[in-house]
């Protein structure tokens, strides 16, 4: 794993998790509400990136590419989220079933949008602080205590939303357009059906893999 440098931003989950921990440590060490706001902002940034990746993958399979324009507008992620609300869970559950059937050591965890949205709402109070009084920023205040608690909950959420491979965190995203014809048929069927039997889906995918004499793949 590349050595962490807090001054050179990296667009990956592992860097952000370490950065949040550094900022949280500075918050508690220096009793600084300023570092708390920086930590909250970093939390928001990485949650939005995690939220966006499955949405883009889901949207890429749509015939209409107008979603690209929506994404660039104000609150683009939230708007795209609303458009794909019914599909995003199907895409994520298929990803989880596919990973269990095809990979030996790569459990992919469906992204919990409901928890993510709740955390983002709570974090906003520590980013948009224009309505707060000076006393709210004292380290002993309930506002700061609740902020530290929220950031720690975000860290727990992030570390449990992705696979941890030797200290490197990875979000499980599959390009559904690259699936084999048999897997693709299962994918299309899963997106359009109403049942939520992920176990049965996993068994069907596993059967396809076995019929093609494919050993389970390992992720290094």
Is the Cβ–Cβ distance between 131 and 114 less than 8 Å? no
The predicted structure's pLDDT at residue 175: 72
What residues contact 83, with CB distance under 8 A and at least 6 apart?
Answer: 59, 67, 70
The predicted structure's pLDDT at residue 153: 97
Q: 1 versus 188: which is more confidently predicted?
A: 188
The predicted structure's pLDDT at residue 95: 82
Determine the average pLDDT of the residues in 116-130: 94
The predicted structure's pLDDT at residue 66: 61
Q: Is 44 exposed, middle or buried (0-12, 13-18, 19+ CB in 10 A)?
A: middle
The predicted structure's pLDDT at residue 179: 84
Across the strands, what pairs with 164? 169
Give the confidence band of 81 by pLDDT, cuts at 50, 70, 90.
low
Task: Please give the model's pTM, rounded to 2 decimal places.
Answer: 0.73
Rounded distance, CA 139 to CA 36, Å?
10
The predicted structure's pLDDT at residue 191: 80
3-state secondary structure of 217: strand
Lowest-pLDDT choice from 15-19, 96-100, 167-171, 174-178:
167-171
pLDDT digits (tens, 9 = 90+) for 27-73: 999 999 999 999 999 999 999 888 777 767 666 665 566 666 666 66
- Which residue blocks in 31-124 are alpha helix, DSSP H? 33-59, 67-72, 76-83, 85-102, 113-124
Percent of the chain with pLDDT strictly greater than 90: 40
Is the Cβ–Cβ distance between 16 and 108 less than 8 Å? no
Is the Cβ–Cβ distance between 90 and 192 less than 8 Å? no
3-state secondary structure of 39: helix
Q: How far from the centroid of its chain's Cα atoms is residue 170's Cα?
A: 9
- CA angle at 180 for the pair 177 and 184, rounded to the nearest 5°: 60
Model confidence at 160: pLDDT above 60? yes
């Amino acid at each position: 794993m590349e050595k962490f440098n807090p001054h050179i931003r990296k667009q990956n989950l592992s860097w952000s998790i370490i950065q949040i921990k550094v900022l949280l440590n500075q918050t508690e060490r220096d009793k600084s509400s300023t570092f708390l706001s920086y930590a909250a902002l970093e939390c928001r940034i990485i949650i939005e990136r995690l939220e966006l990746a499955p949405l883009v993958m889901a949207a890429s399979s749509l015939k209409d590419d107008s979603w690209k324009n929506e994404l660039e507008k104000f609150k683009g992620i939230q708007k795209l989220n609303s458009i794909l609300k019914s599909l995003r869970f199907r895409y994520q559950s298929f990803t989880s079933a596919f990973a269990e059937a095809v990979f030996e050591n790569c459990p992919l965890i469906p992204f919990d949008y409901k928890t993510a949205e709740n955390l983002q709402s709570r974090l906003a109070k520590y980013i948009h602080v224009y309505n707060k009084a000076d006393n709210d920023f004292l380290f002993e205040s309930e506002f700061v205590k609740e902020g530290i608690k929220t950031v720690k909950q975000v860290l727990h959420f992030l570390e449990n939303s992705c696979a941890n491979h030797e200290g490197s965190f990875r979000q499980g995203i599959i390009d559904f357009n690259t699936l084999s014809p048999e897997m693709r048929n299962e994918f299309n069927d899963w997106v359009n059906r109403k049942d939520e039997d992920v176990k049965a889906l996993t068994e069907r995918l596993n059967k396809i893999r076995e019929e093609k004499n494919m050993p389970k793949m390992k992720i290094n």
